Amino acid sequence: MSKKVVILGSTGSIGRNALQVIDALGPEYEVIALSAHTSLDRLAEQAEKYRPRYIAVTDTSSAHISKQTFSGFSGTVLSGSDSLVELASLKQADIIVCAVVGAAGLPAALAAAKAGKTVAIANKEPLVIAGELLTAAARQSGAKLLPIDSEHSAVFQAMQAGNPQEVRKVILTASGGPFRNATLEEMNNATVEQALNHPTWDMGPKITIDSATMMNKALEIIEAVWLFDLPVDKIDVLIHPESVVHSMVEFIDGSVIAQLGTPDMKVPIQYALTYPQRREGISEGLQLHKLGQLNFQTPDLNHFRALALGFEVAKTSGSAPVVFNAANEAAVEAFLDGQIRFGQIMELIDHCLQVHSNQEHLTLEELLEIDAWARQQVAARLDHNTTVIN
């Protein structure tokens, strides 16, 4: 019987890669639901090709044209953000690919975990802000949380070489992004175009900016804490500009097990879809002899303030990660809109963390309230942008 797959955020970078992987895997995988936020034409093309039973448009301001755009579609068309929860809990679904960007994907990821699905999770922000709720829901229902994020897929694969108690350290690698060798001043004043110019990975705009600030790695530290039940002092970050060693696990006997591959998200996506098996892949194999050498260096936490904050925030299980993430989402949006300088992204996050007092063990509703509070803090700060920040 085929595996029934739901892709939340199918129009994005991960969503499109997931569909290419499914194309290559063949009829054993059936796409039964897809979702888009604003890219309706792309969703209509995907619906025509994959003939899912459901499609959802989450941005209600774009949903009004859905009838016309999806006129050839015979399945069910849903709209609004709640539709993702519906898709994530579909009875017939086996695998839910969470490929929405940001905290917006949280309710659906949680619904998938509660429904006992195999949750192939690229959307790291829900794990950062609600790792406690998500992992508890998965434990209770028996859902499998399988990482798509390349570093976490690498750690997940390396972990299979030993027992969790035998892990000495997890080493997350980071390319260092476009500003690895930039001065602080160059970085502070970087343009949107420069920040979007990632040296090794081709990804959606938000995560590309996060890679430039290294907020992406900071979020990944917290993601690893929850996915692998690790204390933060067992997590290290190493700059590795080639993005070939996707991460490593050091065991207590001193053995380090790494996972290597070309920087192509189709590899970890496929592993999450076929786990525990491996299948022939569409990605190019690694040709180490062509690379010649691989480089590693310790990151400078003064240069990348996000990383220093990430290690701090990862120690708290309460609301600080929610504020950290929401302030970043709002600040990145403002940067992409041309409202602030690159350097102001971290200033805004720092500010929100400073004015927040941490709270523990929150419900989903409380988390979402704190998320909204942090976004308001950023908006209020932007209103006085010229006098306060510049």
Binding site for ligand NDP (CB under 6 A): 9, 11-15, 36-39, 58, 81, 99-101, 104, 122-125, 149, 201, 203-207, 265
Q: How far apart are CA 217 and CA 158, in angstroms?
A: 19
Handedness of CA 79, 81, 83, 88 (dihedral sign): positive
Q: Which is nearer to ligand NDP, 147 or 318 (CB)?
A: 147
Among residues 319, 321, 371, 375, which one has the least CA distance to residue 348?
A: 375
Q: What is the CA 104 to chain-centroid distance, rounded?
A: 12
Q: In whole angstroms, how close is the CB of 207 to ligand NDP at the nearest point?
A: 4
Stretch that binds Mg ion, among 4-12, 142-150, 186-194, 273-281 (CB under 5 A): 142-150
Q: Which is nearer to ligand NDP, 62 or 188 (CB)?
A: 62
List the 3-8 sheet strands across, edge first. Answer: 76-79, 54-57, 29-36, 3-8, 95-98, 118-121, 144-147
124 binds, among Mg ion, ligand NDP, none (CB under 5 to 8 A by kind): ligand NDP
Stretch that binds Mg ion, among 141-149, 153-161, 179-187, 249-257 (CB under 5 A): 141-149
Contact 131, 318 (CB under 8 A): no
Q: In whole angstroms, how close is the CB of 361 to ligand NDP at the nearest point?
A: 24
Q: Which two tokens stand for residue 13?
A: 């970078």
385 binds, among Mg ion, ligand NDP, none (CB under 5 to 8 A by kind): none
Q: Which conformational region is residue 247 in: left (phi greater than 0), alpha (psi within -120 to 50 degrees), or beta?
A: left
Q: Which 217-236 residues touch Mg ion, going by CB under 5 A? A: none
Q: How far apart are CA 279 and CA 298, in angstroms?
A: 35
The helix/strand/coil state of 147 is: strand
Q: In whole angstroms, how close is the CB of 22 to Mg ion at the nearest point?
A: 21
CA separation, residue 380 to residues 118, 200, 312 (Å): 40, 35, 25
Residue nearest to ligand NDP (CB): 12
Strand 235-239 with 144-147, pairing: unpaired
339 binds, among Mg ion, ligand NDP, none (CB under 5 to 8 A by kind): none
Q: How far apart are CA 80 and CA 268, in angstroms?
A: 29
Task: Tell me the residue type at 204.
Answer: G
Q: Which is nearer to ligand NDP, 75 or 204 (CB)?
A: 204
Q: Which is nearer to ligand NDP, 207 or 326 (CB)?
A: 207
Stretch that binds Mg ion, among 33-41, 148-156, 244-252, 374-382 (CB under 5 A): 148-156
Which position among 151, 223, 264, 371 is part of the footprint of Mg ion (CB under 5 A)? 151
Q: Which is nearer to ligand NDP, 90 or 203 (CB)?
A: 203
Q: How far apart are CA 379 and CA 42, in angstroms?
A: 31
Contact 19, 7 (CB under 8 A): yes
Q: Which is nearer to Mg ion, 258 or 389 (CB)?
A: 258
114 binds, among ligand NDP, Mg ion, none (CB under 5 to 8 A by kind): none
151 binds, among Mg ion, ligand NDP, none (CB under 5 to 8 A by kind): Mg ion
Q: In whole angstroms, how close is the CB of 170 to ligand NDP at the nearest point?
A: 17
Q: How many CB atoms lie within 10 A of CB 115?
A: 18
Which position among 101, 109, 123, 149 is part of the footprint of Mg ion (CB under 5 A)? 149
Stretch that binds Mg ion, among 126-134, 145-153, 266-274, 332-340 (CB under 5 A): 145-153
Q: Which is nearer to Mg ion, 151 or 264 (CB)?
A: 151
Q: Which is nearer to ligand NDP, 127 or 382 (CB)?
A: 127
Among residues 246, 279, 260, which one has the least CA distance to residue 152?
A: 246
Burial degree of 193 (CB within 10 A; 0-12, 13-18, 19+): exposed
The count of residues interacting with Mg ion (CB under 5 A) is 3
Q: Which is nearer to ligand NDP, 201 or 275 (CB)?
A: 201
Q: In whole angstroms, how close is the CB of 240 to Mg ion at the nearest point?
A: 12
Binding positions for Mg ion, rule: CB under 5 A: 149-151
